[in-house]
Structure 1
């Protein structure tokens, strides 16, 4: 009987000791936010989330942030980096110290452009003047709506993403519109 009481007493002392142990190095989480709080991406794209955690004490260690997704078929998440898998909607959740934050994720299918044309293939313009090149991307539901522009010779003109050209100095430059793997060019001569 004494042996049984002794074992029971040791077990009770161990439980009390464990429950009274606190790891004072860890802060209590008051709130957790993730950014972005919603995102729309194409299949295969990655998003890195930023967490903002408020705690009861500064400089303390934070409990680990646990990431999860409601649908791994739509998006995967690992250590705050999400990879879009296939079209659909899911919610990403970050949890730490009993607090959670979520991000809605809309994954879309990327529709490649099949054609890129420009309304002009040659432009003559005077220094200081402005003009524009109109780009037409098909199909109309292509994911890319505006081209990326490259210039063969920097400093002669500027061109914005909408094709607006400003002539800076005399010279000739080729402006190349690029969408997906398609290219279209226009030669601009500044007088």
Structure 2
């Protein structure tokens, strides 16, 4: 789904809002969703460059690096607190300096202010972004203000964020866990 399609979707519920205001609200909520729920995770790319020097840096191929989900150090996957700390989004402190210059892992990113995340992220979380934008727009002190409807969309957005957080903790897997049914005795 494109930015313009999201804007048109939100405009159906807030028809009096100017298109630029809606566009800004959609971008803001896309960034907020990426920040709160780690919905944009880059994998299979170098996460840390110059790891074997005194000043290693966290980098992302696109977007802004935000949080290291995990790193592969000495052939094993580590999370923060197990071999490294990340005091700021772009700096990292290793407990033991790695031998390799590039360290791979999983990195949660967010778009720069005014940008949108990649299409695959927007396609999967378009309703969460739209619900958040509706909530913010309906709370503005304008002629289209509707606090009751805004509260409804706020609850929808918070439920979507909770679902996104759970999905990111489970590795962005789709589908449920498969279990064997208990035998009937």
TM-score (normalised: structure 1): 0.26
Structure richer in strand, relative to its length = 1
Larger Rg: 1
Q: Give the structure, 1 or 2, with the largest relative contact order (CA under 8 Å, sep 6 or more).
A: 2
